[in-house]
Structure 1
Amino acid sequence: MKVNRGLLLVGLWLAVIASALAVVHTTHRSRVLTAELVQAQKARDELRFEQERLLLEKGAWSAYGRIEQVAQEKLNMHMPDSDERVLVPQQ
């Protein structure tokens, strides 16, 4: 019986050590994944900020007044006079 008790005690010690190593590994992995999550959330927030800035810029560039100004200044366009207008009949 002493041999069986000794083997049981060694087996229990090995189980405790394996369990402790598993806890250490799991804790380390959890910390690594948490750090990656924080970095991903930071990148997400930076991309959202950039998207909002670009949407505001798009709105400013596509405003009707801005388009009309560019058409007049750079393309030399103007509103046609009544004698320059041509009506196309519908079929």
Structure 2
Amino acid sequence: MKPYQAISLTTLLLAVLGSAIGVVWVRHESRVLFIRLTELQNRRDSLNVEFGRLELEQATWADPSRIDRVARDQLHMVDPKPGDIELIRR
């Protein structure tokens, strides 16, 4: 085997090995990133469910009939008599 053939063969072998190592590393990184993406999507989905529950709870607490009932029962508030209402104009 001639010296330039040995160098060429060695260079090609190193290029193939480097390429193979690069492929393995990229596939590993891809798997790691895909797992992270799946975790983040699951977290997003759980946060969306929680947000929906919180919106429903907020709507329940802010219901006008509930506010009126709490104002009357717990705070003993009543509607003002027509004579107690004053109109103020600027």
Answer whether TM exceeds 0.5 for this pair. Answer: yes
* Equivalent-residue separation in structure 2 for 1:35 and 1:27 (angstroms): 12
Q: Does 1:82 align with 2:82?
A: yes
Count of paired positions: 90
* Equivalent-residue separation in structure 2 for 1:81 and 1:32 (angstroms): 70
* Equivalent-residue separation in structure 1 for 2:44 and 2:22 (angstroms): 32
Q: TM-score normalized by structure 2?
A: 0.95
- Matched with 1:32 is 32
Q: Which amino acid aligns with 2:51?
A: Q
CA root-mean-square deviation: 1.1
* Gap regions ≥5 residues in structure 1: none
Note the C-alpha offset of 1:84. 2.3
SS of 1:34 mapped into structure 2 = helix
- Matched with 2:19 is 19
- Matched with 1:55 is 55
Q: TM-score normalized by structure 1?
A: 0.94
* Gap regions ≥5 residues in structure 2: none
* Equivalent-residue separation in structure 1 for 2:38 and 2:57 (angstroms): 29
Q: Any idea what the Cα deviations from partners look like across 1:5-63, whole Å, max 9, x if unmatched?
A: 00100110000000000000000000000000000000000000001110011001001
Q: Which amino acid aligns with 1:69?
A: R
* Equivalent-residue separation in structure 2 for 1:27 and 1:33 (angstroms): 10
